[in-house]
Chains A and B, each alone.
Chain A
Amino acid sequence: MTKRRIGIGLLYSRSGSYSLISEACRSGALAAIATVNADPDRDLAFVPVERDPQGNVDLYGPLCEEILRDTPARHVIGCVTSWSRKEVIPTLERHGGTLWYAVPYEGFEASDHVVYTHACPNQHLLPLLDWVMPAHGRKAYLTGSNYIWGWEVNRLARERITQAGGEIAGERYLPIGSRDVGRMIDEIRYARPNFILNSLIGPSSYEFLAAYRDLGQRDPHFLPQTCPVLSCNMTECELPAIGPAAEGLVAAGPYFRGIDGWPDAGRFGSSHEAAAYVAVLELARLLHGHPGAEALPLSQLVAQRGAGGIIDPETHHTVLPALIARVEGGAFRLLHRRAGVAGDPYLTRGTSAVIAPQLRVVS
């Protein structure tokens, strides 16, 4: 089959504080591009157009503009932080472009120009809280990096935990990149919560986990069995940077390596990789057999070609399994699974009422 050559933007930072996640997404996207290009049954081949914002949030808008203005690419796979995603949306609107976003985020967004292929809170945070409160107790300490991801995840956690009769023992934020975790550890030591929700990113998170492991060695209350650290954004791609301090960490996500789920189990190193891979394959499916479809705005593309695909036409979110897994011996082991959870970015579609039904702990 003759292949149409279609430009596809890649907007991932190859350096900076969250580069491990960018690299995971990027390799998932590149693997999918290679798959599509090698598939003789697809009438298209993707030509990657790469720009590297180097972890600088102010470069995302201009570089996205460069892709959409100076090249034929209309679809961009990219962005890790919510902050950078918000930066590129006006550019996407102006040029009728589409961003495929493959990272968990805090919800409360449903752009007409973005497809969200990773989890939002009803697919990560809420199942995680539903699991942890019956298992460990309702007294929480909340941490996060100082930007919208941590703020919003913790706001929602605070709301859910207090609704369930729990309490917030403390809440503290660090600037992105900061390793100044001493005060958090002190507060945790005195507050003695039942669990810690960690929405720190990059080096702040690695430092925190290392310091918390030390604390656990001094005081057994802070061992993972009694007071675990939870995360909605931790995946395999960051485990090497954390080392043994990751042991016992409990994370929520749509996919963990080696655990049956979504998509081809075992094929991907992390859910970031898997979500970016799925994004590119879905784009290929939408464009296959329809020359010119690559120039359509996302809403029209989904309206005309979306049937049988993964994109909810109203919210542009996807149906994902909600898995909860714990790091044991350097890999995630499944604790709990909720299958087929549709993304509900505004928590208005009935999933918001789910508080601790009878959950079965798989061990």
Chain B
Amino acid sequence: MSDLLQFVFSGLTVGAVYALVALGFTIIYNASDVVNFSQGEFVMLGGMSTVFLSAAGVPLPAAAILAVVITALVGVALNKFAIEPARNASVVTIIIITIGASIFLRGVAQIVFDKQLHRFESFSGDVPIEILGATILPQSVWVIFGAAVIFTGLYLFFTRTLTGKAVLATANNRLAARLVGINTNFIMTLSFALSAAIGAVAGVLVTPITLTSYDIGIALALKGFAAAMLGGMGNPFGALVGGLVVGLIEALTAGYISSTYKDAAAFIVILAVLFVMPSGLFGRAAVNRV
């Protein structure tokens, strides 16, 4: 019993990390149908900036906030200098631009920061919380909590605010959105800033658990992307559930079958789901008007 609970705690910890990364994909995707493959680098920038700012003497909470702001600015710059000039290009072209941007950001991080692994202190210490013989670290609770807060925020943003609806309208039909008075350039800038900020918050929350280095973005983005696909790209609820499901499958496979197969098991489930439900568990079905 305590074994099962331990596996579930592990799954929730890892799953919440994936969910946080997956949530970052939703805004840009909703605004432009583009899967931003430099999302993982936003997570890395959030973590690394916090590490280096706090090493420079900035108190940790201030360093974390500054890191989020810096990363949001990087997101804005990315949109301004790489995405906007290619405005009329196809979605696939822009996706490839984001892959290029991720390689670029990784290279810059290698030079600006360094090539070592880093970590900062957990927010509430490292004394494990014991529940029925299984343990979970306080930082894991922070990550799960953070994922829930960001999910709620995004859900409210897209359903309750005018700006959120304007984002959805921009993705739906950019020309029509402009005709009804939506500043689509501003919406794109905003969506990159928000996505980058969410990525950075994820980076700040997960660094005490996963550690961080200039190249941590690739692996995180891959798992986060898989989680987002499973849940349904663009749907915050899907991102949350997708992340947790992938994390739980991995942990339970490692615990009950073999750690050798845990990644394979997760991807087999994702493939199977996408085979039956091509737009993911909670995704909008793609409809083409003829």
A and B from one assembly? no
A interface, CB within 8 angstroms of B: none
